[in-house]
């Protein structure tokens, strides 16, 4: 069972990495880049065949380790 | 126009970050984690309204900056 987790900074939290990418794209000649937000994508290969159980487990992993829930939000997708 | 880019290591390329996360999850008591792969997700806020043009531009950005195409693969999704 595969789960894909997206971890992004919450809206309103400054994203210095995203800003750096935006500036770099500008200096490479890419116009029209109004904003860039960068986060993590984590693909989990989990034992078991029950999607609901896999999603619940992945959410627990996000709360325990994968996301800093003070400044980050996460989405879990079962593939 | 929003584009979401996933940048992941190519299959077969060792993912030390993913391995570190797998070990950490194990030590936190999460069983059944067969594998972890970690990558980047980049959300681009692009000017313009044409999805095809936005996708082409995002692909160019991946080739130029966002992905190291020697060891990474990327997927572009227009939101």
Average pLDDT over chain A, rounded to an integer? 96
Which residues of chain B are under the pLDDT cut of 50?
A: none
- According to DSSP, the β-strands at A33-46 and A72-78 are unpaired
Residue from the list B32, B37, B42 with its beta carbon closest to the beta carbon of A43 = B37
Q: How many domains does chain B have?
A: 1
Cα distance between residue A62 and residue B29, in whole Å = 14
Whether A3 contacts A55, CB under 8 Å: yes
Contact B40 A40 (CB under 8 A): yes
How many Å lie between the alpha carbon of B69 and the closest alpha carbon of chain A? Answer: 17
Query: Which residues in A have their CB inside 8 Å of a CB on B?
Result: 6, 8, 18, 21, 24-25, 28, 30-48, 57, 60-61, 64-66
Contact A42 B61 (CB under 8 A): no
Whether A76 contacts A58, CB under 8 Å: yes
What CATH number is attached to the domain comprising B64?
3.30.1280.10
Calculate mean pLDDT across residues A64-73. 97
User: How high is the pLDDT of residue A71?
Assistant: 97
User: How high is the pLDDT of residue A24?
Assistant: 97
Neighbouring-strand partners of residue B41? A39, B6
* CB contacts < 8 A (A, B): 98
User: How high is the pLDDT of residue A22?
Assistant: 97
User: How high is the pLDDT of residue A76?
Assistant: 97
Question: Residue B1 in 3-state DSSP?
Answer: coil
Calculate mean pLDDT across residues A53-67. 97
Cα distance between residue B62 and residue B60, in whole Å = 5
Cα distance between residue A8 and residue A72, in whole Å = 6
> Which residues span the domain enclosing B66?
2-78
User: How high is the pLDDT of residue B39?
Assistant: 97
């Amino acid at each position: 069972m595969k789960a894909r987790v997206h971890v992004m900074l919450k809206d309103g939290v400054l994203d210095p990495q995203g800003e750096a990418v935006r500036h770099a794209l500008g200096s490479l000649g890419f116009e029209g880049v109004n904003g860039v937000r960068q986060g993590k994508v984590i693909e989990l290969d989990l034992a078991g065949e029950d999607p609901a159980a896999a999603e619940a487990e992945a959410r627990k992993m996000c709360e325990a380790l994968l996301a800093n829930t003070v400044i980050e939000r996460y989405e879990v997708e079962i593939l």
